[in-house]
Amino acid sequence: MDDDVSLSPGVVPGGRVRSQLSTAGVVHDLGNLIQVASSALNHLAREPSISAVPGIDIVIAGARTALDRAGGLVRQTIKTAREIQGNVEHANISVCLVEIESLVRSARYENVRFEFRVDSNLPLVRCDRAGLQNAVLNLVFNARDAMPDGGLISIDAFAPESLRQVAIRIRDSGIGMTGETVVRAFDPFFTTKGGGFGGVGLPMVKRFAEESEGSVHIESVLGMGTTVTLRLPVTS
């Protein structure tokens, strides 16, 4: 399996949680600035020289109203971000893999065979469903590209005993990787191919795994194929 991947439209990394936290942080800082501005406005309103200015009361009242509304928007935005953050997404791996199997089989890749094996009664995993499918598709496309003369791609999903995880293992019979390539496989834009998107696929998979509090691991032997195992935490 090569380290690069040919991405299809719609294959994107997960990352909503990080984006939400970043937005909430900016809004929180805006709230602090609004408090500073409100305090300064109250101080100015108490100054005799300022209060004597004709029409200043209307100006100050308008500024207070604007700051109050801005503060309300800040509080509502942070509340919404917390609610979204609290809604942990769950994914059914069996359902996700059925959809992926239908997709890749309909593509009819020449000389490439697929074998899907999914344990029964797998628990739900804690991750973004679309992100999971994108990650698996990246790995499947990567495996396909590593077999220029065709071969077998096997996709297995199982729950290791005594671990609160579900594992998805993608194995190919392709060209494999050197030890040096395996070490660098998750480096952004590292690739052994001249075309494509330049080493984006595996870094995207790693990012998804880490954001889901899971992991991804590569085992490969040059000339004998590659196995990538994606592990995701089960729901509580």
CATH number at residue 20: 3.30.565.10
pLDDT in tens, 6-49: 333 333 344 555 555 556 666 666 776 777 788 777 877 888 88
* Prediction pTM value: 0.62
| Contact indicator for 159, 151 with CB cutoff of 8 Å | no
Question: Which H or E element spans position 105?
Answer: helix 93-107
Q: What is the pLDDT of residues 87-114, one digit of tens each?
A: 557 899 999 999 888 888 877 777 899 9
Number of structural domains found in the chain: 1
Calpha distance 13→91 (Å, rounded)? 15
Return the SS3 of 48. Answer: helix
